[in-house]
A and B are shown apart, each in its own frame.
Chain A
Amino acid sequence: MAVEKGRESLRVVMAGHVDHGKTSLVGRLLADTLSLPKGKLEQVKAFCERNARPFEYAFLIDALKDEQSQGITIDVARIFFKTTARDYLLLDAPGHVEFLKSMVSGAAHASAALLVVDAEEGVRENTQRHGTMLSMLGIRHVAVVVNKMDRVSFREDRFLAISEEISAFLRRLGLEPASVIPISAREGSNITARSELLPWYDGPTVLEALDRFPAEPPLEKLPLRLPVQDVYRFTALGDQRRIIAGTIASGILRLGDEVVFYPSGKSSRVATIEGFPKPPVGAARAGAAVGFTLREQVYVRRGELAVKRGQTPPQTSSRLRASVFWLGKAPLEPGRDYVLKLGTARVPARVESVQRVIDTSTLRVLEGRGRVERHEAAECVLAMSAAIAFDRAEDNVLTGRFVIVDGTEIRGGGLVLESLPDAGSRQRERVILRNIKWQKGLVPREQREARFAQKAALVMVSGRDDGLRKAAARALEEELYRQGRLVYFLGIGSLLYGVGADIRGTAENHEEDFRRFSEVAHILMDSGMILVSTAAELSQADWDIVCNAVEPDRAVAVWVGQKGGREESTNLKPDLLVCAQDKAGVVAQVVALLRAKGILSA
C-alpha cells in the first residue's frame, strides 16, 4: 500500500470529431485494464440486449439518458482509471460543434490530449477545430489515435496518409504529436496490447502513450504570482488575525518575503503563513491555497496580484492585445459591455478593435471582419474600465489568460499577447513607485478608522448648480463632524496657490492640478479621514485621475441636480445622482449611501 501513496496523477482530454470513437476508446480502456466496477460490463450488456440494441463500449461512459438514446456524448465525463505507472483522470469531451463549450471545459483541465481520428472518414472539421482549441488552451502534449482501423482492413497506407495530414495541421499550431497510433477500439487492437492485425506498426500502444506523457510541470521556478482571493477578519470568536487568502499560481512564498500588490503597488512583509489546525509554516509553493498575515498593515483587496519584490513585476494596464476564442451565440464586438475575469480580478471591458479573425477548423484568416462569431478565434484589443495586473501568456500563462463574461455567462477566453499603454500609465507608474516607497508608522489605518466608526473616503460633490453643490458639500462636512467623525472639507481651490504654486500660469496645468489634489487626498485618507470636496461639472477623465491615485472603492462621486451641461461631464458615471432641491436633502441621501457602502458604521 505504501507504493500507492504519493502516486502521480495526470489529466488527459479525449478530443476529436463526433463519432470517431473517443468514448468507445475510453470504455475499452476501462474494460481492458479491469478498471470497471464488478458487474458493470454485464449490466450494460444485459441492458442492451433487453432493449434490442447492439452493445457499445461507449455506453459504459455515456451515462445520461439522452446520450444513450442519441448515441452521442453531450457533456464532458470525468473518468478515473489507473495504470501501474500512475492515476488518470480522463475527460471525455463531446465531438459535436454544438457542444464545443463542453469540450473546452474538459480540455482546459487537462495537461495532455488524445486526438481521435476515424481511419475511414479521415480528418474532419472538428478534428481540426479541437486541435486548434488544444493549442489555444495551452496543451502541449498530444498523441493522435487513428481509430476504426478494422474498417480499412488495417491498411498501412491509409494510416500513413491520415497521420501525415493531421501531423502537418498540428505543426501549424505549434504542436508536435508525441505519437500517432493505429487502433481499433471495437477489436481492442493496440489499446492495452499490441495487435497482430497491425504487424507493420512498432510504436507505443495507447496505454504506453499515456504513460509516456510527461508529468505536469512544476510551477515553482517561475516568479511568485498570488492572486488575492480575499482578506479575512473573522472577529466573531475573538480572532484578531487579518489574513490575506489566495492560491499560489506560480513561485514560492516565504516567511519574511517582501510582497508587492499590483496594480496598487502597495507593499509589506510576510509575517506568518497561517495553518489550521496545524501551526504556521515557513514556505508555501505553487498550487498551495494559502493565507498569510503582513507585518505592516496595508489595505489590499480581491483582484490584486501579490508578487515578490525583486522578481519580474507584472504588467499593469487597462488595455491589452489578446488572442481570444468565442463561444457565444451573439458575436463578440465593439460597442458592447463585457466583463473580463483574470485571476481574481474582475473588470468591465470593451472590445476596442478586432484585428484578425481566424476560422478555428481551417485556420483561414477571415479578412475585413469587425466582430468575432461563435466558434471563431481572433486577435483583439480590449479596453477595461480600470487597470489590472497580468502577465503576457508567454511569460506566465497562469496570469496571462482570462475569460470574457457576456451578461451572466462566460462566453469566451483569451491569452494576453501584450500590454498596451493607456491614458493612466504614467500616473499609475508614479503611484506604484510612491506606494513602494511609502513610509509606514506603527498605527494601522484600520485602527484609526475604527476610533471614528468610519472608513477613509473621498466624497466629491459635483453638479451644475454652483450654489447648491457648494452648500451641500459644506453641510455634509458639518453633519459628519457633528456625528463625531474625522472629516475635513478639502477644496480644490485650497491647493492651487500653495501646493500648485510652481505650475500657476503654465498652460497645461489642469490635469496636474487634479493629480496633486488626489495625492494630498491620498495622504489624508491614509490617516483614516473622510474628505469632502466639490468640483463644478466633474468629467470622467478628471475623476479617473483621482481614482488612479486613491483607492477607487473609497472614492464616491455625487452629482447634484440634472445631469448634462458641459459635454465632458455628461460621461461621468456618478455613484449617486441626487435630485433634492435643498442641501439637507442632499446630505441625507449622501449619508445613506455612505452607510450602505460601509464607510459609516454605528
Chain B
Amino acid sequence: MANVQTRNIKKKYGSVEVLHGIDLEIEDKEFVALVGPSGCGKSTLLRIIAGLEEHSGGDVLIGGETVSDLTPKDRDIAMVFQSYALYPHKNVYENLAFTLRMRNTPKGEIDTKVRAAAEALNLTDYLDRAPAQLSGGQRQRVAMGRALVRKPKVFLFDEPLSNLDAKLRVEMRTEIRRLHQDLNATSIYVTHDQVEAMTMADRIVVLHDGDIIQVGKPMELYDAPATTFVASFIGSPQMNLFEGNLDAAGGHFHVSTGSSIRLGKQYRSEASVTLGIRPDDLELDASDAADIQGKIRVVEHTGGETLVFVDTPFGPLCVRAPARSQARVGDITGVKIDRERLHMFDASGLRMSAGGA
C-alpha cells in the first residue's frame, strides 16, 4: 500500500508563507495531477513530499506512516525533474544504473533491470551515449527510465513534458499513463497545463496561491468548478464569465448595460454575481429562439471545430461551433444557451447552487 497523505503542510521561505496548510489524500495506485498557475506552490509541495525541501509545519505520510523525518532515499520514491537532471558525465546505462548501484543491487540484477527499463522506453540503442548526445525526447525518456528502473512506491513528476515540442508532448502523455498502469504505482504529477491534467489524471488537485481550491475527477472539475478561478483555469477555450447581478427572485441575470437573461433556474438573490457559460454550451442560432444577439468579431477555424467570437451586450463571448461553420465576421447572429449548463458564482467567486429559492 502506498497511499500518500499530507496533513496541514505549511511552507515558509523567510517570512513569506507559500503553502498555507495543504491537506491531501492520494489513494494507492492513483494518478493525481497537481495543477495551477506558475508560482502557486506545486513544485514546493512535490519537493516536500519527496523530502527535498523541509516543511515549516504539518506532516507527510506514505503508506500510512509519517516520513517527515526521512531523507528522500528512505522514502522509496522516484522523481522526474523538469530539467531531466541527468548525470551529464555518465552514459545512459550508468544514468539508469546509478540508483541500483546506490542501493547495493547485485551486478547481474542491475544489468537485467537496466536493460528491461531501456527496452520499455526504446532506449536500448542509446545505452552507450552521453546525455549531451541525445535529443530532448530521448533525454526525457532517460529521466523516466531512471525513475522506473527501481520499483518505487510513489512516482513524482515535476512538469516532465514542458520542455518537449507539442507533438512529443501528446505522445508522452499516453506513454506516461501506460507506464503508470503497468507499474501499479502511485503517481503525483505536477503541471501548469490543464490539458495534461485533464487527459492523464484520475483526480486533479487545483492549487492557487498556496491553497487547494478544488479536488475532483477531471469531469467533475469541468462540470462543476468550485470557484471562478477553477472555471477559467480548466477548459480550453476558457469559460465565458460575465459580471452582473441577480434580480430579487433570483431567476434573471442582469448586466450593467441593462440587458438580462432568463436563467431557467432559481438562485438565492445576490447583488453581485458572475455568470459562467462554456463555449461548448453555446450555439449559433439565427432563429427567434436565440437568447442573445451579437455581432461576429473573429472566426477561428481549427479544423475539427470553429471558434466564433461574438460581441454581445453582455460582453465578448466565445462560441464553439461545428467545423465548416458558415459564420462570417461582421454578421449579426443569435446565440442560444444551454440553460442546464450555466455556472453561477457569488461575489467572492464561490460556486452557487441552483434550486434554493
Q: Do A and B come from one complex?
A: no
